Structure 1
Amino acid sequence: MTDLVDTFTQRGDLAHLALFLWASSSSLLAVQALRALAASSRRFDDFVAALSRFNDNLRRRS
């Protein structure tokens, strides 16, 4: 990583380096947010399925 930074600093492209780091970190945060959203959706689906099984059991007993 330091070789990459040295290359950019020697050429004077610090703005490009900063933009690359910003874009990389933003993309990483977006991926993490989407993973958390997918996990939340799976947990909600599991909850709805369990609730449906519970309701089916109650209907059979009645």
Structure 2
Amino acid sequence: MSELLLLLSEQGDLAHMVLGAWAGTSTSLLVWVLKQVIRFNRRFEEFMAELEKLNQMLLADT
């Protein structure tokens, strides 16, 4: 592994390697965040549906 890093640093491609690692990490983080937002939206919609059911039950009693 150190030979690979030495070869890359000698040829000046280390910056490209770091940029690729940064891009991969950023993309992975973005995908994770989007999944979390989708899950949150789904749970929020379920909560709102249950709240609407409760409102309908309470309004039907009056």
TM-score band w.r.t. shorter chain: 0.7 to 0.9
The structure with higher relative contact order (CA 8 Å, sep 6+) is 1
TM-score by length of 1: 0.79
Q: Which runs of 5+ in 1 are unaligned?
A: none
Q: How many residues align?
A: 58
Identity of aligned residues (%): 34
TM-score by length of 2: 0.79
Q: Which 4+ stretches in 1 moved above 4 angstroms?
A: none
- The Cα RMSD (Å) is 1.9
Q: Which runs of 5+ in 2 are unaligned?
A: none
Alignment of 1:6-25 (within 5 A): 6=4, 9=8, 11-25=11-25
